[in-house]
Structure 1
Amino acid sequence: MTSVISIEQKAHVIVDDTEAIAIAHQLAAEFVKGDSERDREGKIPVDEVNKYSQSGLWGITVPKEYGGAFVSNATLAEVTKIISEADSSLGQIPQNHWYIVESIRLDGTEEQKRFFFDLVLQGKRFGNAFSEIGTKSVTDVQTRLEKSGDGYVLNGRKFYSSGALVADWIPVIARNDDDKTVIALVESDTPGLNVIDDWSSFGQRTTASGTTIIENVQVSQERVIPHFLAFERPTTQGPIAQIIQAAVDVGIAKAALRETIHYVHNYTRPWIDVELEHGYEDPLTIYNVGNIVIQVHAAEALLRRSGEYIDRAIAKPTDSSVAEASIAVAEAKALAAEAAILTTNKLFELAGTKSTLRQYNLDRHWRNARTHTLHDPVRWKYYAVGNFYLNGVNPPRHPWL
């Protein structure tokens, strides 16, 4: 297995939302310096991931009764957005880690909570082996967890495994003997588990993803989470999965906006039909920058709003509160995706032909936006929002809404 295990030093434990955001800004200032080079070389960000998890940010959603800060979901989204603006691959890597923390909070046994939350606070990382290809839909899971003696045996193959190459534990989505969806938590060095470094997308190149092959992996009962339960009752499992996705997209949009302003101010020439000295004086350029700024700020506002809805649903999980949280996140995700695509397109339109030169590598923002926004279709976000407000239909319960 090609993997990198986290360093043994225990991670810092963050105490509150303010500290989490401050540390995210500190790390982002460092991570942004090597973003373009890592993308160009397809380099797995081992050192950066170690710093990220050792900072304590990967433990901020651990409940307070288990020693964590249990920050608001607005803060979780803000942290993800800040890191994603610096490097959207780094922003995406802990997405499924936080998803698993929520899964354990919702449906783990008391023993599992104590054990895994302690590991998370120490700095241990969850990757993922969730989605497969070649099936009828994303929910058509072929990986199987079958009873074997006192435990289980796990077999399957996963295609999308963000973070698995730098994970200590790899959670695997599988079907059990009752055809129910479960999560098997497997240590990364377990015999029969192999993650191949073969991720070849043109965007999000350094998310430490690859194909995960699972062959007769032994799993104990204590390492299995009954994941299906999270969607048989109103929970925030789905909205939390989606708000992190939305935050990555907003981060990409902010990075592209930053690059646009810098490039236009320093390199762009005014168009020949206006007698101006500088490109940044061009009235149509000014208009377009104003438009994308408004779109990005609107996406940020919806992101914060959706975090507040999730927090209310956590405090009082009902059919109504969870549906409202899902819809709020759907609104944020729809606008975040469109802002990311708009901003990364406008970067080149406003900067001009020279900005496409390989030496600037500005196309990484468009590539990242185009790749990441494909995780779940925006058209279905609009459908869910419209059906909710027009017809009073609650959205379905799953990780994609």
Structure 2
Amino acid sequence: MLLFPKESTLSHTARSIDSAAITDEQVADDQAPDDQALLARFTPVFQRIAEGALARERAGQHPTEAVQWLRESGFTAVRVPRALGGGGASLRQLHLLLIALAAADSNLSHALRVHFRFTEGHWSQRDLPESQKWLRRIADGAVIGAGNAERTGEHGKFATNIRRQGDGYVLNGQKYYTTGSLYADYVSVSVTTENGELATVVVGTRAPGVEVVDDWVGFGQKGSGSGTTVFRDTPVDAANVAPPVGGSGARWAHVQLSHLATTAGIVRRATDEITDFVKQRARTYRQASAAIAKDDPLIQAVVGRADATAYALQAIVLQAAATLDDVANAQWALRVGPPAARTEAALAALKERDIEAGLDTYRAQAVVFELALKTTTEIFEVGGSSAVDRNRHLDRHWRNVRTLASHNPLIYRHRQLGENRLNGNPPYNFLSNTQTAALGGESEDAALGV
């Protein structure tokens, strides 16, 4: 017997969004707070995090305490609707804050990447009791980590598996690159069922049989908590097992844009650090154009280019995030609106917007990483040997950007964008059932890890 019986997506979605069952609280669309109010609320937390970031890098310490500050401040629930206990921020505002957080400590914005994607899945179906339960749990401080990648086997065919046991399941396997798992209360895990189907399960990181291993050895993003998580006969509640996630431009854009926000924050921090470095630098080269570094036009140009790049990267990320807001809000309006409005034409039009939002983020990715890698290399031109002092750790900025860029090599993004322009084919992972994608997903969307 199949774990997920074949059923008409249209009929399933229609039952899920029966408008008669929606309460005023569930459909309430909070007015998002303004940017300045959000920055005023969270900037003191980010500053506190930034104060210890370099010391943590030197000592190889994880930002565990900083994650707790983010929970306590409500940052991890900033996207949760106000009616459910969160901050009610838009996606553009979330990414504005992620850039600021990344400038303080890029490990943290990276570690929360899947947490915010998980939140977004439930935000998109916040009319459902199960999603409301998770959103309230997140508002109470719960953090979710990733459990998708494996070091063996074929991509999309997972060795990690679940099997029936009593009224629930047991989970066995091993995941690597489980970003954020060191700091998480739950982990979203991609698995194979006894019938060979794919599924996503959510389990507590302190559940029996779960072992989170601190073995991430990448040369960048060292504190992102991206090591191994092992599951040995871990019990799984049947309510926390969902079908696999279908393709969607907006879904894939969300997880990629998180990396771009982190990258934008890294470049801003690098720019700030070389600015301070140059201001304090008393000596320079004999062939320099000025007696002190801060008056040298060539050094001024390096700092100026870095500053301009940091500004441009933030603008690019926020524009792409605003597009995702437009799509998410349109999906929600169609989801909870009158059934008569959900025509095939309306669904197809929204699907086109969804694909274009995904392409916009891929376009942004192609530019952001190239500019960031160039800038985090060029910053060393301002200081000669002094700039490579290990105590300054200026090299961490390039290492961190390079690590983020390696998640999804640009050569594939360039090709996908070119194929779309020349042949009209969207990336393969953007394609799914039109109804499901247009309405913002079903229960499986909420379980999306990476």
Q: TM-score, normalised by structure 1?
A: 0.88
Of 358, 367, 382, which residue of structure 1 is paired with 2:399?
Answer: 367
Query: Counterpart of 1:25 in structure 2: which amino acid?
Result: T
SS in 2 for 1:61: coil
Corresponding residue of 2:267: 253
Of 178, 186, 191, which residue of structure 2 is paired with 1:174?
Answer: 191
Q: Deviation per CA, 1:92-128, whole angstroms, max 9, x where unpaired?
A: 1111111111233457993321221111001111122
Q: What is the CA–CA distance in structure 1 between the aligned matches of 2:282 and 2:382, rounded to whole Å?
A: 8
Unpaired stretches in structure 1, ≥5 consecutive residues: 1-13
Q: CA deviation at 1:63?
A: 3.8
Q: CA deviation at 1:297?
A: 2.1
Contact 1:144 1:175 in 2 (8 A): yes
Q: What is the CA–CA distance in structure 1 between the aligned matches of 2:38 and 2:415, rounded to whole Å?
A: 34
Contact 2:302 2:381 in 1 (8 A): no
Corresponding residue of 1:11: none
Q: Deviation per CA, 1:349-372, whole angstroms, max 9, x where unpaired?
A: 222111111222222222222222
- The reply on whether 1:126 has 2:144 as its aligned counterpart is yes
Q: What is the CA–CA distance in structure 2 between the aligned matches of 1:160 and 1:64, rounded to whole Å?
A: 32
Q: 1:57-96 counterparts in 2 under 5 A?
A: 57-63=75-81, 66-96=84-114
Of 201, 205, 217, which residue of structure 2 is paired with 1:184?
Answer: 201
Q: CA deviation at 1:241?
A: 1.0
Q: Deviation per CA, 1:239-275, whole angstroms, max 9, x where unpaired?
A: 1111111100111111111112221222274443345
- The reply on whether 1:325 has 2:357 as its aligned counterpart is yes
Q: CA deviation at 1:281?
A: 2.7
Of 311, 325, 338, which residue of structure 1 is paired with 2:325?
Answer: 311
State, as a whole percentage, how many aligned pairs show the same letter: 27
Of 312, 315, 320, which residue of structure 2 is paired with 1:301?
Answer: 315
Query: Counterpart of 2:426 in structure 1: which amino acid?
Result: N
Q: Deviation per CA, 1:25-66, whole angstroms, max 9, x where unpaired?
A: 222211111111111212121211100111111112224553
Q: What is the CA–CA distance in structure 2 between the aligned matches of 1:55 and 1:240, rounded to whole Å?
A: 23
Of 238, 256, 280, which residue of structure 2 is paired with 1:221?
Answer: 238
| Number of matched pairs | 385
SS in 1 for 2:162: strand
Cα pair distance change 1:275/1:293, threshold 3 Å = closer
Contact 1:127 1:161 in 2 (8 A): yes
Q: 1:96-245 counterparts in 2 under 5 A?
A: 96-106=114-124, 110-137=128-155, 139-228=156-245, 230-231=246-247, 234=248, 236-245=250-259
Moved more, 192-201 or 100-109: 100-109
Cα pair distance change 1:26/1:367, threshold 3 Å = same
Of 379, 395, 400, which residue of structure 2 is paired with 1:347?
Answer: 379
Q: What is the CA–CA distance in structure 2 between the aligned matches of 1:103 and 1:143, rounded to whole Å?
A: 23
Q: Which has the higher contact order (CA 8 A, sep 6+)?
A: 2
Query: Counterpart of 2:48 in structure 1: which amino acid?
Result: E
Q: What is the CA–CA distance in structure 2 between the aligned matches of 1:50 and 1:347, rounded to whole Å?
A: 33
Q: Deviation per CA, 1:211-253, whole angstroms, max 9, x where unpaired?
A: 111111111111123232x42xx46321111111110011111
Of 425, 436, 445, which residue of structure 2 is paired with 1:393?
Answer: 425
Cα pair distance change 1:91/1:396, threshold 3 Å = same
Contact 1:183 1:224 in 2 (8 A): yes
Cα-Cα RMSD: 2.5
Cα pair distance change 1:397/1:61, threshold 3 Å = farther
Q: Deviation per CA, 1:364-401, whole angstroms, max 9, x where unpaired?
A: 22222222221111222222333333432222336899
Moved more, 166-175 or 381-390: 381-390
Q: What is the CA–CA distance in structure 2 between the aligned matches of 1:93 and 1:145, rounded to whole Å?
A: 26
Corresponding residue of 1:46: 64
Contact 2:157 2:192 in 1 (8 A): no
- The reply on whether 1:28 has 2:46 as its aligned counterpart is yes
Q: CA deviation at 1:279?
A: 1.7
Cα pair distance change 1:269/1:169, threshold 3 Å = same
Cα pair distance change 1:214/1:86, threshold 3 Å = same
Q: Deviation per CA, 1:120-176, whole angstroms, max 9, x where unpaired?
A: 001111122221113343x34221123333222211101111221121112212123
Q: Deviation per CA, 1:312-331, whole angstroms, max 9, x where unpaired?
A: 11123422111111111112
Contact 1:296 1:339 in 2 (8 A): no
Q: What is the CA–CA distance in structure 2 between the aligned matches of 1:120 and 1:185, rounded to whole Å?
A: 14
Contact 2:380 2:388 in 1 (8 A): yes
Corresponding residue of 2:388: 356
Q: What is the CA–CA distance in structure 2 between the aligned matches of 1:385 and 1:353, rounded to whole Å?
A: 40
Corresponding residue of 2:437: none
Corresponding residue of 2:409: 377
Contact 2:145 2:184 in 1 (8 A): yes
Q: Deviation per CA, 1:52-89, whole angstroms, max 9, x where unpaired?
A: 11111111222455343442211111111100001101
SS in 2 for 1:360: coil
Corresponding residue of 2:9: none
Moved more, 20-29 or 209-218: 20-29
SS in 2 for 1:152: strand
